[in-house]
Amino acid sequence: MDSVSHAYGQFPPYGTGVAAFESVAFQEQPHPGVMMRACQAMKKDVVFVNPFASISKARRLMREFNIRHLPVVERGELVGIISDGDVLLASSLRDGRIDVPDAPVSSIMTRNVVTCFGTSRVEDIAATMIRLQISCIPVVLERRLLGIVTSTDLLRLVSARSGISTGIGNGTGIDFDGLRTA
């Protein structure tokens, strides 16, 4: 069994915040062939909302922190999750602008959240994301949010383990001309 120490972030009972985790002990860079675990791939500073936060506030947080998923936490426990797609589906188009409702996030959140443990294998997390067509899995310990693993985290991990630069262009064989503006 892996030795992983967990620290629960300080979650306010209500409000919005960034969970700060003091320590999650793990091996920084595993040797080639060593299985990576969720605690090694997850983001530990997780932006979250409570169930009573408005959908419009959730959208503002997603834009401010450049994220696509917001765990919903109540009294320190994960109770749901929303995505940018959920926000878009709940919104309407008015006068050429997206009108985001002020309804609570609890009205659109997914309640039965697929989660994993800090000791879950990254390979299993990736396979689950593919099979269920989801793009994030929160990492929990007894319903307490420890972190989140996203598809972007997994792509960064593959890139780092392959020795591939995440810089744009530079002999990658990928044409980035479409990103340039005329």
Q: In sequence order, what DSSP letters do the residues of 18-57 get, joined into one string?
A: EE--S-----SSPPTTPPPBHHHHSBSSEEEB-TTSBHHH
74: Cβ contacts below 8 Å, ≥ 6 apart: 13, 50, 51
In terms of Cβ atoms closer than 10 Å to its own Cβ (0-12, 13-18, 19+), residue 97 is: exposed
Q: Domain holding 151: CATH number?
A: 3.10.580.10
Full domain range(s) for residue 106: 17-161
Give residue-wise pLDDT tens across range 109-162. Answer: 999 999 999 999 999 999 999 999 999 999 999 999 999 999 999 988 887 777
Tokens matching residue 81: 């999750």
Is 21 inside any structural domain?
A: yes
> Do 148 and 78 touch, CB atoms closer than 8 A?
no
Is 6 inside any structural domain?
A: no
Stated pTM of the model: 0.73
Is 128 inside any structural domain?
A: yes
**71: DSSP letter:** E
Computed from CA positions of residues 76, 78, 79, 83, in that sequence, does the dihedral angle turn out positive or negative? positive
Average pLDDT across the chain, whole number: 79
> Do 132 and 114 touch, CB atoms closer than 8 A?
yes
Tokens matching residue 49: 């909302």
Tokens 């309804």 belong to residue: 103
> Do 141 and 118 touch, CB atoms closer than 8 A?
yes
- The residue-averaged pLDDT of 53-66 equals 95
What is the domain count for the chain?
Answer: 1
Main-chain phi, psi angles of 79, to 5 degrees: -120, -10
Is 9 inside any structural domain?
A: no
Q: How confident is the model at residue 173, as a pLDDT?
A: 59
Q: How confident is the model at residue 16, as a pLDDT?
A: 40
